[in-house]
Structure 1
Amino acid sequence: MRRMRVAAVCGAAVATAVGGAVPGAWAVGRPQADLAYHGSADMVAGQVDVRFTPHNHGPGAVPDSMVRIGWSQPLADGQTLPVGCAREGERAVLCRTGALGADAVGERIGLRVRLQGAPSEVLLEFETVASDGAVDQDRVDERQRVLVLDTGDTYYF
């Protein structure tokens, strides 16, 4: 009986940490938010410029949040990133988006990265990784993808 209780508690802790298997069950009593990212990206000779603005479509405020920008190609070494952004491994950058009120637009974030080699395309993926206690029951718009071709054209998302 004790083993079953320990397993149930561990399972509940894991479900809480990763979003749970039962939608909304882990969100009881926590503020609700709906985070999304809108912006543009372009690439020339393996250098990618990304500009985006975080949006909180509510209904609750988010005291602080962070977005992961994943790259389908490895980043070159020696990147200079803006304040509030840090490299995470070979293919990702984390950026703090800060506090976002309900139905509010955050500050624009812009970064320029170099990719290893000179790929003809890169797939960017934006995903909220921390929202300081707020939860989003509809996480579809928190995970966005944009394919950027090495043409110098601007791609909007």
Structure 2
Amino acid sequence: MRRVAVRSVVVAGLLACGAGVPGPAQASAGAPAWAPAQVSAWAGPEADVSYHGRVALSGARLRVWLVPENDGPAALPNATLRVRLSTDLADRQQLAQGCARAGLREVVCETGPLPSHGRGRHVGLALELRERVPEVAVRVDTWWNGGATDRNHANDDHVVLALDTGDAYAF
């Protein structure tokens, strides 16, 4: 059941990014099928999704802890956050519930419901890297937000440099 839920979030995210069938605006403009769909006049409810947490690198293991928040004004039934790394992940990963690998260097996780002016579920990842590196850049951002309009991307798009010291770096 869990895999089905994660797949539906991942598929919804791909469709939201325009990876699906081209829409009428693309077809009429002659845009290629891979081009993102144009934003319609109605962009959904307004919500301000943000992430707060920390990352720590020790050896070839990267730990990421974060909490998604929504400053409103509308609640969201779910969103998908993305964690991207500057180095490759190991082939095998033990991921938290609601998370899925999305590439050589990416993991996506559902946030669960995000009430207006409230927090989503805590997300904890213990990621194994392909090899030990002295540092890794970790980017956390929103991959899919259910079609909501978010006017403040300063609080949901973070890049953190973690050194191989075991120290936690906050964002």
Normalized against structure 1, the TM-score is what? 0.84
Assess if the C-alpha contact under 8 Å between 1:62 and 1:132 holds in 2: yes
- Asked if 1:41 corresponds to 2:55, the answer is yes
Assess if the C-alpha contact under 8 Å between 2:43 and 2:149 holds in 1: no
Q: Structure 2: which 5+ runs fail to align?
A: 1-26
Tell me by how many angstroms 1:139 deviates: 2.0
Aligned to 1:64: 78
Q: Within 2, Cα distance between the matches of 1:78 and 1:9?
A: 38
After superposition, residues 64-83 of structure 1 pair within 5 angstroms as: 64-83=78-97
Assess if the C-alpha contact under 8 Å between 2:85 and 2:137 holds in 1: yes
| Match for residue 108 of structure 1 among 122, 130, 153 | 122
Q: Residues 116-157 of structure 1, C-alpha deviation per residue, up to 9 Å, x if partnerless?
A: 110000011111111112121222222111110000111111
Assess if the C-alpha contact under 8 Å between 1:123 and 1:146 holds in 2: yes
Aligned to 1:14: 37
Tell me by how many angstroms 1:113 deviates: 0.5
Aligned partner of 2:28: which letter?
A: V
Aligned to 2:7: none
| Match for residue 127 of structure 1 among 116, 132, 141 | 141
Aligned partner of 2:68: which letter?
A: P
Structure ID, larger Rg: 1
Give the match's secondary structure for 1:15: coil
Moved over 6 A (4+): none
- Asked if 1:154 corresponds to 2:168, the answer is yes
Aligned to 1:90: 104
Aligned to 1:50: 64
Normalized against structure 2, the TM-score is what? 0.77
Q: CA RMSD in A?
A: 1.9
Give the match's secondary structure for 1:124: strand
Aligned to 2:150: 136
